[in-house]
Amino acid sequence: MARRAYNFVDLTGQIFERLTVLERSESDKHGNIYWKCVCKHESHDDKIIFVRGTHLKKGITKSCGCYSADKTKERATKHGMSDKNIYRVYTQMIQRCENTKNAKYSEYGGRGIKVCKVCIPNFETYYEQISNLPNAFADGHTIDRDDNNGIYCFCVNNMRWVTRVTQQRNQRVRKDNTSGTRGVTFDKDSNLWYVMISVNNKIKFIGRFSDKEEAVSARKQAEIDYWHNGKDVNEISNISRHNKTGFKGIYKNKHSYTASIGLNYKSIHLGSFGTIEEAIEAREQAKMLYLNQRTKSANP
């Protein structure tokens, strides 16, 4: 069977993106013609490469590799902030809400918490919006949702800059909390509800109640008395000068935060956590448990 006629096209002298064809080279065993090309770009000296003709005409090969590298770099640095912490905060927000494989997805996207695409279509818009909020980038402040069951959205004014203490107080109730209210725990031994609150990095015992509603009401009143006093109390007390987090018993490692608590003149390691909020919550729970045990011992 006779082979189909092939119309040869000389590519010599033609330019394809950053490649200029110098001359025809050899063909491979399948009859594909290769061309000797020079890649010219300001990012490097002239480079000679050999490219398959069809790849040149279809735009598959555009350079010696510098074109793809430059495009990747351009995408990563178009706003010039890919190495900044605020960009990591933005990407983590997107991942928690949209990536089903993210470890935090069940607590965010899985609960219906989304990122509003109307007011946050991209990082540049997000950065512009948060920059216009009160206390923007102030020392010790971080981005938070006013309603932690609501979506990430500027349209409904659900985004704000707050201290880490305020953000900690605004967290959801832990899954193992039986009362549904933070700081209210049920003690099976005494059959009573214990109420506590964290003030200036110390756990303050509010009281014991036989009725759950009374306990919850006492906790809410304590929040008004100790927290809603017109200013944010920074929970820093006797913190080591080596502690860079600003929270007693919480330390920053390379990839995590560790929490510890001193009991009976011994330091008890509570674990390593992905965020400072989780570490603070673990330490607060440990302090509540310790105070609970100490209170029962003093009042048998």
Instruction: Please report, for residues 84, 137, 185, 249, the alpha-carbon distance to residue 152 in angstroms, rounded to integers and kept in the order given.
Output: 20, 18, 31, 31
| Buried-exposed string 166-203: b where 16+ CB fall within 10 A, e elsewhere | bbbbeeeeeeeeebebbbbbeeeeeebbbbbbbeebeb
| C-alpha triplet 243, 245, 250: angle, nearest 5° | 75
| All residues at 6 or more sequence positions from 264 whose CB lies less than 8 Å from its CB, including other chains | none
The reported pLDDT for the residue numbered 259 is 85
The reported pLDDT for the residue numbered 84 is 83
Residue that has been written with the tokens 């001193």 in this structure: 262
The reported pLDDT for the residue numbered 166 is 73
The reported pLDDT for the residue numbered 231 is 40
**How far apart are alpha carbons 215 and 142 in whole angstroms?**
31
Q: Which amino acid is at 23?
A: E
Say if CB 73 and CB 83 are below 8 A apart: no
**How far apart are alpha carbons 119 and 125 in whole angstroms?**
7
Residue that has been written with the tokens 């920059």 in this structure: 131
Find the DSSP H helices in the chain. 53-57, 66-77, 85-98, 123-131, 164-169, 212-226, 276-298
The reported pLDDT for the residue numbered 250 is 81
- The first and second tokens of residue 153, run together, are 């959205």
Say if CB 292 and CB 185 are below 8 A apart: yes
Say if CB 34 and CB 51 are below 8 A apart: yes
Find the DSSP H helices in 175-230. 212-226
The reported pLDDT for the residue numbered 293 is 60
Neighbouring C-alpha atoms within 13 Å toward the C-beta of 40: 9
| Buried-exposed string 88-121: b where 16+ CB fall within 10 A, e elsewhere | eebeebbbbbeeeebebbeebbeeebebbeeebe
For the chain, the structural domain boundaries read: 15-77, 85-163, 184-298
Sheet of strand 257-263, all strands in order from the earlier edge strand to the far edge: 250-252, 257-263, 266-273
Q: For residue 269, what is the DSSP state?
A: E
The reported pLDDT for the residue numbered 275 is 79
* Below-70 pLDDT ranges, the chain: 1-6, 74-78, 168-177, 200-201, 228-246, 264-265, 290-300
**C-alpha R_g of the chain:** 30
**How far apart are alpha carbons 178 and 60 in whole angstroms?**
61
The reported pLDDT for the residue numbered 95 is 93
- DSSP string across 271-297: EEESSHHHHHHHHHHHHHHHHHHHHHH
